Amino acid sequence: MSGNIQLLNDTLAQARAEGRSALIAYVPAGFPTVDGGIEAVKAVLESGADVVEVGLPHSDPVFDGPVIQTADDIALRGGLKIADVMRTVREAHAATGKPILVMTYWNPVDRYGVERFAVELAEAGGAGCILPDLPVQESATWREHAEKQGLATVFVVAPSNKDERLKEITAAGSGFVYAASLMGVTGTRASVGEAAAALVQRTRAATELPVCVGIGVSNGEQAAEVAGFADGVIVGSAFVKALLDAPDEAAGLAAIRTLTAELAKGVRGNV
C-alpha cells in the first residue's frame, strides 16, 4: 500500500478551491494514553480539521515548548512505542479517511531505520512526515524513501531564511511548506506575529506548494487573521493545552472538539 501524499495534496487543493485556508492540527500520540490519543486525533478530524500532524514524542524535544514537552513526557512514561504511533495513524485514517502526517525529531527515525519507518508509515495510511531538525542538506536518504513510499516531506521555513535558502528548501519539499510564523519554539502566544505574512509572501515567490503557517495560533480570531494570507493554519500547543487542562479524558475530547469547531470557522473567515 502506498502512502497518501495524493490525499494530502487533494485536501489542500480542495480547501483552496473553496476559497479558504485549511486547518491543520498537531496532536501528540500516546497522550494521555495510546487509545486516548487516537480518540483525540479522530475528534479533531471529525470536528473540522482537514489534516492532522501526529506527534511522535521524543525524550529531548529541544525545539518544542514546555506544553508539548509535558505531553511527550507523559506519553513516554506510559511506554509509548513507534508501533503505537503507527497504530494511531492507521486507526485515525481508517475512521476518517483524512490525511495524517507524523511530526518528530530525526533521531527516532534514524535509529528505527529510515526505510523501515517510511514503509510502515505508508502501510498505516500516513501521508508524510515533518522533521524539523532534519535540514534539507541532510535529508537525501529520507526523501528517497519517502518518495518511493508515496509520502510527503514537509520542510519548515523561518523568517531568517534568505530567499535563496527558501528556494533550496521548497524545491526539496512536497505536500506543503510549514512557515514558522514567529521566531521561537512552539507554544501559544498572545498575538500572531506580523512577520508571518511577509514570510508567506516570500515563500510563495519561491514555490507553488501551499504555504501553511504554524506556531502561535490558539483561537478562532487568530486563525481568521492567518487565514487571510496563508493556505493553511497549523495549531498545536492550544490543542495539547486543552487536553492537559481538562479534568478527565472525556472533558479533554469535548474541549478539543469545541476548539476545533471555533478554529474551523476561523479559517473560513467566520469569527
Helices 66-77 and 237-245: crossing angle, nearest 10°? 60
Residue 60 annotated as catalytic: no
Interatomic CA distance for residues 12 and 18, integer angstroms: 10
Between 36 and 159, name the residue whose CB sits nearer to other proteins: 159
Residue 84 annotated as catalytic: no
Q: Output the smallest distance, CB 54 to other proteins, in A.
A: 16
Q: Output the smallest distance, CB 105 to other proteins, in A.
A: 8
Between 41 and 134, name the residue whose CB sits nearer to other proteins: 134
Residue where the block lists cell 497518501 = 4
Q: Output the smallest distance, CB 256 to other proteins, in A.
A: 24
Between 7 and 80, name the residue whose CB sits nearer to other proteins: 80
What's the Cα-to-Cα distance from 34 to each of 59, 227, 257, rounded to whole Å? 17, 32, 18
In residues, how long is the chain? 271
Binding residues for other proteins, per CB under 8 A? Answer: 58-63, 65-66, 69, 73, 76, 81-82, 105-112, 132-135, 137-138, 155-158, 160-162, 165, 169, 180, 183-185
Q: Which of 64, 91, 120, 225 is catalytic?
A: 64
Q: Which of 39, 46, 50, 53 is catalytic?
A: 53
Between 172 and 271, name the residue whose CB sits nearer to other proteins: 172
Interatomic CA distance for residues 215 and 91, integer angstroms: 27
* Cβ contacts of 137-142, under 8 Å, gap ≥ 24: 138/106, 139/172, 141/114, 142/109, 142/114, 142/118
Active site (catalytic) residues = 53, 64
